[in-house]
Chain A
Amino acid sequence: MSAVLDPSASTTVAASDAGGAHVAAGAPIVQITALRKSYGTNEVLKGIDLTVKRGEVIAIIGKSGSGKSTLLRCINGLEVFQEGSLSVDNKPLLHESAMAMRELRQRVGMIFQGFNLFPHLTVGKNVMLAPTLVKKRGQVEAAAQARKLLARVGLAEKFDAMPDQLSGGQQQRVAIARALAMEPAVLLCDEITSALDPELVGEVLRVVESLADEGMTLLMVTHEMSFARKVGDRVIFMHQGRVHEMGPPAELFSNPQTPELKQFLSSLHD
C-alpha cells in the first residue's frame, strides 16, 4: 500500500500525458451543451449543460434513475444521445465516425462498477492490451509501463496473476491501472466502489484520491458522500434527468438550496 500513499513513489501519469499537454490548466476539457438522451419515449437526460475544467474533480450524486450513470456513459460514447453536443479536448463526439470515436476514447478512460477485467489475460496483459493495440507500443515498453502503473496502484507483485485470483479491491485497482495505461485526459468513474466489500473501499478510494492530487480530471458517480466532500472540487446533484444543483462540496452539503437535495441528503442519514 505504501506505493499508493506515497506520492513520490508514483509516476505522474496525468500531468505528463501527451494527449492533453497542450491544454492549459483550467481550460475546459469536457464541454456538454443541451444534451438530451432518451430510451424510446422515456427521456432520461433532459438537457444537460456542463463544462469541466482541466484538473477538476467532479462528483455526481443523486438517486438511482436520476441519469447520473447515463450522463457519464455519454461522455465516452457508450450511450448514444439524440440531441445536444459533447466535446472532449475540443474534439466533438461523433457516433457515426469510428475514427472520431477511437480518438475520443483514447482521451477518456473509464472505470466500471463491475471492474470488467479481461478474465483470460494476466493482470499485466490486461494493462498492456490497449497500449499495444491502439498506440502500437512495443511489448517491452508496454510491459515496463504496465509494471510502473501496477506499482502505482500498489500491485507490483501481481503482474503475472490472473484477475480471478485477486480480491475485488485489487481488481478495481488493476482496472484503474489499465485505464491509466492509455494516458487519458479525463477519467470517468462509474460507482467504482459499489460492488466492493466495505473493507476494500478504502484502498480504491486512496488511489483515486492520489490521482486527483496529481491533477487528473475526474468525473465520478459516487455514493461515497464523505469522499465526494473531501476530494471533489464540485458536486453535481442530478434529479430526474437534470442537473438540479451544483456547487463546491462544502456549500452543497451544508447548505442545500432545493428541497430535493435536502431530502436526498437527509435520506442518506437514515
Chain B
Amino acid sequence: MNDFSLWDILRNLLLALRWTVVLSLIAFVGGGLVGGLLLFLRLRAGKWLDRAIGTYVQLFQGTPLLMQLFLAYFGIALMGVEVSAWTAATVALTLYTSAFLTEIWRGCVASIPKGQWEASGSLALTFGEQMRHVILPQAVKIATAPTVGFLVQVVKGTALASVIGFVELTKAGSMISNATFQPFVVFSCVALMYFALCFPISLFAKHLERKTHVRRA
C-alpha cells in the first residue's frame, strides 16, 4: 500500500506550492493597485464616493473570503459569463485584499498630522505634490509593518481557493493525503511550506519596523 516516498509527497506539494505563490502575488499586486486607487479616490472625492468606498470596505471585511470566492465563481457564472477558477480567484482575492489594504493605508495617511497638509498647502503645492513629497513618504513608513503583516494573512487565505477547485498547496495536500493515507506527514509538510513562505515575510516586516523606529528616534 505504501509505495509513496517522502520525496514523492514533497515533490507534488512543491509543484502545488507554485500556485499558492502565484495566487498570493496576484492578490498582492492586484489588491495593492486597486487599494491604492481606492485610497486616492477616497482622499480626493467628496462625501458620496467616500461613503461608497467605505461600504465596499465594510462589505469585504465583514464577509468571509470563502463566501467571496464562492460568489465570484458561481455568481458571475449565474450572469451567463463562464468563469475559470483562475478568474474567480483573481477577482475575489484582488477585491478582498484591496478592501483591507485601502483601509490600512487610509488610516496611515490620516495619522499624518493636519499641519503637514496645511504647511505644504500654504507653500502652494498641489494635491499630487503634497501626496508625493510630503504625505506618502511619511505614511509609507507607518504603513509598511501592517501592510506586510496583512500580506501574511493573504498567503494563508489563498488556501480557500481550493473550494472552487483550485489545486494549490492545501488542495494538493488533501489529494495526496487521500492517495497516501499519510495525512499527518502530508499536512505537516503543507504547514511547513506555508511557514517557509510566511516567516520570511514576517521577518522582513520586523526588520522594516525596526528600521523606521530607529529613524524616528
Using a CB–CB cutoff of 8 Å, the interface residues on chain A facing chain B are 76, 78, 98, 102, 105-106, 108-110, 112, 114, 116-120, 129-130, 133-134, 175, 178-179, 182
Contacts and interface: CB of A to CB of B under 8 A. Distances in A.
Nearest to A118: B134
B123 interface: yes
B123 A105 contact: yes
Contacts of A178: 123
Contact of B123 (A114, A120, A134): A134
Contact of A129 (B121, B123, B138): B123
Nearest to B134: A118
Given A76-B122, A116-B119, A129-B123, 18 more contacts: A78-B122, A102-B126, A105-B122, A108-B122, A110-B119, A110-B122, A112-B115, A112-B118, A116-B115, A117-B119, A118-B120, A118-B134, A120-B141, A129-B120, A129-B134, A133-B125, A134-B123, A182-B124
Contacts of B178: none
B121 A134 contact: no
Given A129-B133, A133-B129, A118 B116 contact: yes
20 contacts: A102-B126, A105-B123, A106-B124, A108-B122, A109-B122, A114-B115, A116-B113, A116-B115, A116-B118, A116-B119, A118-B119, A118-B133, A119-B138, A120-B137, A129-B133, A129-B134, A130-B123, A133-B129, A134-B125, A182-B123
Chain B interface size band reads 10 to 19
Contacts of B125: 129-130, 133-134
Interface in B116-171: 116, 118-126, 129, 133-134, 137-138, 141
A163 to B, nearest CB: 12
Nearest to A179: B123
A117 to B, nearest CB: 8
Nearest to A164: B216
B124 A78 contact: no
Nearest to A108: B122
Contacts of B141: 120
B36 to A, nearest CB: 20
Nearest to B119: A116
B26 to A, nearest CB: 32
Interface string B59-85: 000000000000000000000000000
Nearest to A125: B133
Contacts of B115: 112, 114, 116
A182 B119 CA distance: 13
Contacts of B120: 118, 129-130
Contacts of A175: 119
Among A76, A78, A102, A119, chain B packs the most CB atoms within 10 A around the CB of A119
A98 B128 CA distance: 12
A116 B123 CA distance: 12
Nearest to B141: A120
Nearest to A132: B133
Nearest to B118: A78
A120 B123 CA distance: 17
B124 A112 contact: no
Interface string B99-120: 0000000000000010110111
A30 to B, nearest CB: 15
A119 B118 CA distance: 14
Contacts of B134: 118, 129
Contacts of B116: 116, 118
Given A129-B133, A133-B129, A133-B133, A120 B138 contact: yes
B121 A105 contact: yes
A119 B141 CA distance: 12
Contacts of A114: 113, 115
A105 B124 contact: yes
A98 B126 contact: yes
